[in-house]
Structure formats: C-alpha cells, structure tokens
Amino acid sequence: MVQRQLPKVGELLELMQFKKPELDARKRRLDAALTIGDLRAIAKRRTPKAAFDYTDGAAEGELSLDRARRAFEDVEFHPDILRPAADVDTSCEILGGPSALPFGIAPTGFTRLMQTEGETAGASAAAAAGIPFTLSTLGTTSIEDVKAATLREPQGPIPGRNWFQLYVMKDRDISYGLVERAAKAGFDTLQFTVDTPIAGARLRDKRNGFSIPPQLTVGTIVNAIPRPWWWYDFLTTPKLEFASLSTTGGTVGELLNAAMDPTISYDDLDVIRGMWPGKIVVKGVQNVQDAARLVDQGVDGIVLSNHGGRQLDRAPIPFHLLPKVVREVGKDATVMVDTGIMNGADIVASIALGAKFTLIGRAYLYGLMAGGRQGVDRTIAILRSEIERTMTLLGVSSLDELEPRHVTQLTRLVPVDGSAVDTRV
C-alpha cells in the first residue's frame, strides 16, 4: 500500500516553478519556433498571401520543389557508436575563405517585399554568424549598402563575407556595371546563374495577381486587414529600388522576361570571367556533362541547383545528382548544392556525399518574414543546432570526418529502364 499524505506547500513549490513571462512578442514567437517549419508557419500568419506565396511557391505543379524536399527526407543515416564527439567543429574553408558553418545564404530577389529589413537583415545576420551572404542581381538593397551592413556587424573570429549573384541581362552594360561595383565593394565570389533564360511559370503569383510594385485589389485589401504591421512597414520605409531594373510594373515573370536574355552562352561566361578578380561559381548546373565542361572552362565551383524549383518543373533533383557530380569533378572544383534544404540534417547529408558547401534560400526567408533580423538569426541558430546534434549522433567531430558511408539516399523515384535511350534511327 502506498502511504498517502497531504501535500506540503514547500515541496509543491519545489516541483512547480513558474516560467518568467517574455514580454517581447517578437522574441516570444521566435523562441517558440523549434524548426524551419515552425518559422514558415509564423511567416505565413504574418505576411500577406501574395508576398508569402512568392517566397513559398515554385513553378507550375511545384513538383521539382516537392521532390527536392522529399529527397532529403528519404535519407538514412548510419551512425558510428562509441565514438565520442562532444566538441563538434562545424567550420570549413570555402572558395578561399572561412565559414563558421557549412552553409551560406543564397541569393533571393525582391527580398524587401517579404519583410522590410530585406537583404540588410540577411547580410548582418550572416556576418554575425560568420557565414557568407549572397546578394541577388534582383535584390532590393544596393551592393554598397549590403557591404556596409556586413561591416557594421561586430566581427567575430570568422568574419562575414559577401558574394554576388549575377544574371546576364539583355542590356549587357547593366550586368557589367554590377560586376564592377561588386568587385570594387570587396565581394569575393561571383555566382553566375545560368538556369533563368526566361522566367518559370510561377502560377501562385499569377493567381494572386502579384506584381512589382504591389497592386491593391479587393482581395489584397481583405488579406491585409489582419496584417497591418506588414503594410505599415512597407508604406513607411524607403521606396523599393532595384540594382538592375530601371522600370517596374508587372508580374515578377514579366519583369524577368523583359530583362533576361535567353541567348546567354559560354562566351558570356568567358567575358565575365575576364572581368571578375575573385572566385567564380556557376549556379544552376543540372547534369554531369555540364559540370565537367564548366570545370574544363576553369570555373572555381558549381552549384547543383534547380533554382528552388522555380524554373523548370520536373527538373533533376540536385541532391540526387550530387554523388555523380562529385565523382566526376569533385577533385577539380568546389561542388555545392541548394534546393529543398529545410533541416540541418539535410546539410550534413550533403556534406557526407561530397558537397563542400550548401546554400539556403526559403529557410532564410521564412525567418526574415517571421521576425526580421532576429528571425534570420533564429533560422541560423536552428540549423546550427540541428547540424551539431546530427554530427554528434553520427559520431563525427568535424565536417572532414563525414563520408558517403554515413548516408544512404533512399528513393521513391526510380527511372524506368530504357527511358533515356535514344531511339532515333
């Protein structure tokens, strides 16, 4: 028989400790976010539908994005037991410089439409974390202001770095001018993007009537009513300006089609290579043959990417391509990967299969929409914690210890035999 007694007040107080309330609403909601998915849910509540869907959506049926995320979910890890990994080192050398973590922030366009702090929040958070930040050609903060935001951040043991992403425009002088400005500002790496000769069919934007600048309709007004803070920020902060667009007015796809040049070629790459003094990386590589040719052309690195699923739907899955490309060119060039990364474990799996680095796009933007600069800090903190925990559970103390044997890529998509055979006679 269990002997029962009346509870003693002193013992109850020991068992019941009330948590001090957090009065800062932003900090309270961000502290409650334990995953990137949690940040996405906050972002969706706080951002007008058109701006959120521009970030969250992909091309056509959004199959490429869904498959990329599923590829990371279909990873099986193989941990080593009885291998102490108490002190995990997540730092690495990438493209001639250090990074405190094996990921950087990918280039994103029209970023201040998602949250008014935009690229400034991303660049300063990246600098504080000691990781690279990439500014898009279609960014809404100038090259010089991004550099200034990086320099304003107190420099830790690993300083912040700036990379610049380049689209080759129909007006080549615009692109050349951006290259010169980025070099002058001290950006150390150029990402030459090759998967956007025209805009993909981003159907969410068309259905929402999403345009630059935003156009008011009955629908947008109704959607804005529960989100007055977004409109207050948008209307009381400096006008959106674009480094590469002299005129605006139309959907994002229309603006891209007006600016981009579908005739870009290896000749353009040669011209830019001759202009750029730092490292040059080609972003948007989607097969082994192109990777090999680019390495022969002398690029410093490649990014396996299908543009976050925002261009060609049903494009190859970058994570599935990774082992083949690493075997082909990994000894001669830096291989990186993006698209679909939503967890630090995704990053660990990529490094184990040979990637030297990864890039996050939507994960960063979900944090930005959820809480500005503090939200980006939270994104980085979540991914850092997941990376460290996954490495510790695998029994590895550094990124160099990660090997292909630690990962099996499970797949639900298996090519049909003969589907790629040329049957022409």
Q: Which of 363, 277, 285 is nearest to 330 (CA)?
A: 285
Annotated binding residue 108: yes
Annotated binding residue 361: yes
Annotated binding residue 167: yes
Which of left, alpha, beta for 395 (phi over 0: left; psi -120 to 50: alpha)? left
Annotated binding residue 54: yes
Sign of the Cα pseudo-torsion (188, 104, 140, 252, in order): positive
Annotated binding residue 175: no
Q: What share of the chain is helix, strand, coil (3-state, %, to 5)?
A: 45, 10, 40
Annotated binding residue 310: yes
Q: Which of 370, 372, 305, 307 is nearest to 335 (CA)?
A: 305
Annotated binding residue 109: yes
Q: What angle do CA 286, 289, 292 make, to 5 degrees?
A: 105
Asked if 368 and 121 count as a contact pair (C-beta separation under 8 A), the reply is yes
Annotated binding residue 265: no
Q: How far apart are the first and last CA of the chain?
A: 88
Q: Is 219 helix (H, G, I), strand (E, B) or coil?
A: helix
Annotated binding residue 362: yes
Annotated binding residue 305: yes
Active-site residue 307, yes or no? yes
Which of left, alpha, beta for 164 (phi over 0: left; psi -120 to 50: alpha)? beta
- CA 89 to chain centroid, in Å, comes to 22
Annotated binding residue 232: no
For residue 176, the tally of other CB atoms under 10 A from its CB is 16
Longest Cα separation, the chain: 91
Give the tokens for residue 150: 């990086």
Annotated binding residue 266: no
The CA distance from 96 to 93, in Å, is 7
Q: Which of 212, 255, 223, 205 is nearest to 55 (CA)?
A: 205
User: Among residues 78, 307, 320, 406, which one is catalytic?
Assistant: 307
Annotated binding site for glyoxylate: 54, 167, 202, 307, 310
Q: Which residues are marked as active site?
A: 307
Annotated binding site for FMN: 107-109, 136, 165, 193, 283, 305, 361-362
Annotated binding site: 54, 107-109, 136, 165, 167, 193, 202, 283, 305, 307, 310, 361-362
